Structure 1
């Protein structure tokens, strides 16, 4: 399992930090995983699945 840090999640999704955290608060994006006292990350496969779902929604329209 690979953990992505915030800069990589922002880079992969194209979302600004504020939107990313808004989506998390609204349960529209995978929650972060605590990896240290002051460190969080996201599971790569969950972020990739979220991106795939956005693509599927786009293609369905």
Structure 2
């Protein structure tokens, strides 16, 4: 199990700003983070990968 901090999200191609990520989380459109401390959050890499795969599948459905 791998945890990703905000900066590591960028290496996965998630270049959203912090406020935009929080808006997506609030809307239920992005994986919720795990609270590691008072000001530290991280995301499960598997959930981020699933999010990316979901976006790819949605794109492919639109093309077909």
TM range (shorter): 0.7 to 0.9
Pick the structure with greater CA Rg: 2
Aligned length: 60
CA distance in structure 1 between the partners assigned to 2:31 and 2:7 by the alignment: 15
Deviations 1:16-44 (CA, angstroms, capped at 9, x unpaired): 22211110011110000012233110000
Q: Which residue of 2 aligns with 1:20?
A: 21
Q: Which residue of 2 aligns with 1:51?
A: 52
TM-score (norm 2): 0.84
TM-score (norm 1): 0.87
CA distance in structure 2 between the partners assigned to 1:4 and 1:20 by the alignment: 14
Q: Higher strand share goes to which structure?
A: 2
After TM superposition, where is structure 1 displaced by more than 2 Å over at least 4 residues in a row? none
Task: Structure 1: give runs of 5+ residues left out of the alignment.
Answer: none
